[in-house]
Amino acid sequence: MIEYANVHFALETLRQEAKATGKDGPRVLILGPEDAGKTSLSKILTAYATKVGRQPLVVNLDPTEGMLSVPGTLTATAFRTMIDVEEGWGSSPMSGPSAVPVKLPLVYFYPMQNPLEADGSVYKSIVSRLALSVTGRMAEDEDARETGIIVDTPGILSQSKAGNVEMINHIVTEFAITTILVIGSERLYSIMMKNFDNKPTASASAAASDERISVIKLSKSGGCVDRDAAFMKAVSESQIRTYFFGNPIPSTASAALSLSASSSSTNVTLSPHAQQLDFGALAVYNYTIASAEEDEDEYDPSQLGTGDAFLPGGSNDVDLGQTPQEETPVAPTLPGIAGPVKETVTPTGSSNVPLKKVLPPAPTALANSLLAITHASSTASPADVRDASIMGFLYVADVDAEKGKIRVLAPVGGRVPPRAIVWGKKWPGEVVGLVG
């Protein structure tokens, strides 16, 4: 814990220097194996920064655990206020009250657990899009620029697999990382020292600067424990349940008794809206990346298309629907910026995007799974659907293939926006028992 406090003081010194010289604050990347305490360190550094009046931008690149969102998402959030110690990172806007000010995350959907699926092409594209939005926020917000970025990563990147170092290099480049913290892995620390230590920082949109990358090794906290697959599945289902129904929801009498004894004002029960939708009127897409247990579907790029944004409380985000023939596209921005940040988008070959439209009749596999509603329009290209940020999520409670209807839960009432919808078939996958 003393090491982590020392890291905070070192980062605070860099922030003070950034404020004095007008440069960007430290951009921190946290690496390490599974269950090494990476997310806990992210929370500690974020909490320390907010307590001294800073405003860090926190980026979660781990699709297995959601930050202010459901699993299967990559998010970025500006933290101006304290972190809710009972709810982890806190909560995003909801229809109920909140004792701690809510956070406004920018969310992208990556419905796979492994960042290296499809040679990492999908993951890299979303990371680049997220980095572009974070960079735009820093350019507009002086407090965020001086404080810098904290990036949390999935533990799978620390494994000895082909493509991992390349993926880390992509993240370092896109976010112009200045400090790499390695937790609990001597081998990974040696690799990072060899590849990045004292190398100049750079980004995809700027030449190398006079800043140098520092690689620092940290000890794994003694409080870290190994989490098995059953526990992680329970955590994933709990995050999804909380998104729709609030927190907490006791599943047993003993759990209800425990919650009653320790209840606090932050416990809020939400009521999602159930409705029936015509599946043929929806533009649902699925990633066609084959896994070991399933055959790869043939991909037809001519059948592409799409779903406005609604967060749990009904807050709308910036419209990101784009086509190459439309006006100059704009980048999604983190909440709090007066207007979107303009960007130049490099055309991407749509035929290389493994997205396929799910045609009627509605597959029975849709039942008990999540649908992510994007900001992309129904005529968007595959690349635009992939790169679009997320408005909100639907839970498919039931599928009636004969009638072509699906019954869904939505966090807010009203018509489902006519936008591109991405199916979380691979991840989070099937979530049984969310509704009776």
- Domains of the chain (ranges; CATH) run 1-228 (3.40.50.300), 273-290+351-423 (2.40.30.330)
* 57 pLDDT more than 70: yes
Q: Is the pLDDT of residue 251 over 50?
A: no
Measured between alpha carbons, how far is 178 from 189 in angstroms, rounded to an integer?
15
pLDDT at res. 345: 39
Q: Is the predicted pLDDT of residue 406 greater than 60, yes or no? A: yes
Overall average pLDDT of the 191-210 stretch:
75
Distance CA 322, CA 329 (A): 6
pLDDT band at 14 (very low <50, low <70, confident <90, very high): very high
Of the candidates 348, 402, 408, the one whose C-alpha atom is nearest the C-alpha of residue 380 is 348
Q: What is the pLDDT of residue 336?
A: 39
What's the confidence (pLDDT) of residue 15?
A: 94
**Residue 96: predicted pLDDT:** 57
**b/e per residue 150-183 (b: at least 16 CB within 10 A):** bbbbbbbbbeeeeebbebbebbbbbbbbbbbbbb
**222-245 mean pLDDT:** 86
pLDDT tens-digit readout, 62-97:
999 888 899 999 999 999 887 776 667 766 666 556
**Mean pLDDT across the chain:** 79
CB 107 within 8 A of CB 320: no
Instruction: Categorize the per-residue pLDDT at 123 as very low, low, confident or very high, splitting at 50, 70 and 90.
Output: very high
pLDDT band at 289 (very low <50, low <70, confident <90, very high): confident
pLDDT tens per residue across span 90-116 = 666 665 566 666 788 999 999 998 999
Query: Which two three-digit tokens encode residue 272?
Result: 């999602």
User: Residue 133: what pLDDT?
Assistant: 94
- pLDDT confidence of residue 99: 62
Least confident of 48-52, 313-317, 370-374: 313-317
What mean pLDDT do residues 276-299 have?
72
Q: Using alpha carbons only, give the angle 94, 96, 102 rounded to the nearest 5 degrees.
A: 50
372: pLDDT strictly greater than 90 = yes
